Amino acid sequence: MAKIPVTQMTKKNNDTIIVKIKDAEFVFNGTLKRTSGNMFMGEDKQVRVMYDKSTSHVVIINKKTGTEFYNYIFSIADEGKL
């Protein structure tokens, strides 16, 4: 079974989520912006992070190669901020 990275998501407003994702040497600190409906997306120089809030699904891909790094379920409710 694939390892799920340590993930923190904090809702800034209805259209923005602040994200921190870490697993060994992989680190993403950034902002996800609403693209449409419940879909959010953000990126840095190396990866693109996509989050479907309605299904709690996170996908992280390498921007250059299109290789999927992570594909897992994470809900903002996991942060304990209900």
Q: What is the pLDDT of residues 26-51, one digit of tens each?
A: 999 999 999 999 999 999 999 999 99
Q: What is the pTM of this model?
A: 0.88
Q: Is the pLDDT of residue 79 over 70?
A: no
Cβ within 8 Å of residue 44, ≥6 positions away: 28, 30
pLDDT of residue 2: 62
pLDDT at 76 over 60: yes
Beta bridge partners of 60: 49, 70
Every domain of the chain and the residues it spans = 6-79
d(CA 33, CA 17): 7
pLDDT (tens digit per residue) in 58-71: 999 999 999 999 99
